[in-house]
Amino acid sequence: MALFEKKSAFRKFIDSITMAVYDNPELGPEFLDQLEESLVMADVGIETSSKIIEELNKAINYKYITREREIKKELSRILEEIMDKGERNLMSEDYPLIILMIGINGGGKTTTIAKLANMYKNKGKTVMLAAADTFRAAAAEQLQLWGDRVGVRVIRHEEGTDPTAVIYDAIQSAKANDVDVLICDTAGRLQNKVNLMKELEKMSKVISREWPEASRENLIVLDATTGKNAVSQAEEFSGITDITGIVLTKMDGTARGGISITVTDEFDMPIKFIGVGEKMEDLLPFNAHDFVEGIFDE
C-alpha cells in the first residue's frame, strides 16, 4: 500500500522521475538538476537533496544506468541507507520504561501518547500516564479523556503547578504498582526556550534520581504536514534535550513526506513510529525498507 497519495508533493517527486527520464534520456546534469529540484519541493532539505543526487550520479556512472526502473531502484537504496538507523529505530524492550513525550502543541502529541499506551497495553504491559503539561489549559483533561478511553491511570495535578512534581508523583505511583511503562506528557511551549530547557532538565534529573533502573526513551512528535517547520522543531528540541527517536504524525496521504528523510539525515535521529490515521492501531513501528518501498509503490 502506498504511503503517499498522488496529490502529495512526495508522490509528485516519484512521478517526476518518469518525466525527467523522458526529457533527458542521457541522464545528464539537467536530469539530475530536475530531480534535485523535485526533492526540495517535497520538503527534503537542500543538503540532503544534494547528497541523494550525488549518490545517484555515482550509481548512474558506475552501473551504467539508463532506465527509469533502475533509477527508482537506486533511489530506494539510497533513501533506505539514509533512514535505516539499525537498532536505534527500535524502542527499548527493557522494563520498566519511561517515555518522555516532547513536541509543540497541535502536532499530535496527546493522541500519540494514547496510541502508545494502547499499543503497550495490548502487549500485556501495565501502563500509566503522567500529565506533566501543566501550563496549557485543559491539557490534563485531554490526557485524562484518552486515559479513560484506553483504560490506563493518569497522574495529574492542578493547572499551573510544577510539572516536575507530576513526574515525581507518577514515578512513585508507578514503582509502587509495578507499572511497566510510564508515558509522560510535557509542555510544548513555555515563555521562552530557556524555561523549556530548564523544565526538561529538571524532569530528566528527577527521573534519573527516583527511578535509575528504568530504561528511557525521549520521543519528539513531529507533524509531517508542517514540512520545514517540523525540521525547525527537530533542530530546536535536539538542542534542548537528548532525543532518542521521532514519531512522525499525519503521514496518511497529505504529508509531503520529505521531512522524514531530512530529519534522519541532518540530525541523525531515528524514526521510531509513524502515524497514518486517527485510529488507535494507526501508529506503526518504523521500518526503513517498508517505508521506502511504500514511497515507490505505484
Q: Based on the domain organization, do 159 and 230 belong to the same domain? A: yes
Is pTM beyond 0.85 here?
yes
Q: Based on the domain organization, do 101 and 196 belong to the same domain? A: yes
Q: Based on the domain organization, do 70 and 197 belong to the same domain? A: no
The CA dihedral of 189, 190, 193, 197, to the nearest 10 degrees, is: -100
Cβ atoms within 10 Å, residue 94: 10
Q: Based on the domain organization, do 121 and 76 belong to the same domain? A: no
What pLDDT sits at residue 190? 47
Query: Does 278 or 169 have the greater pLDDT score?
Result: 169
Q: Tens digits of per-residue pLDDT, 249-275?
A: 887 654 456 788 888 998 899 999 998
Tell me if residue 269 falls in helix, strand or coil.
coil
How far does CA 290 lie from the centroid of its chain?
Answer: 16
What range defines the domain where residue 210 resides?
A: 87-296
Which DSSP string do the residues of 279-290 spell out, in sequence order? STT-EEE--HHH
Question: Could you say which of 22, 53, 86 is where a domain stops?
Answer: 86
Q: Tens digits of per-residue pLDDT, 19-47?
A: 666 666 667 788 888 888 888 887 788 99
Q: Based on the domain organization, do 61 and 135 belong to the same domain? A: no
In a domain, 228, yes or no: yes
Q: If 0-12 CB within 10 Å is exposed, 13-18 middle and 19+ buried, where does residue 28 land?
A: exposed
In a domain, 4, yes or no: no
Q: Tens digits of per-residue pLDDT, 43-61?
A: 788 999 999 999 999 988 8
Q: Based on the domain organization, do 109 and 235 belong to the same domain? A: yes
Question: Could you say which of 58, 86, 114 is where a domain stops?
Answer: 86
Give the number of domains in the chain. Answer: 2
Lowest model confidence (mean pLDDT) among 90-104, 146-160, 219-233: 219-233
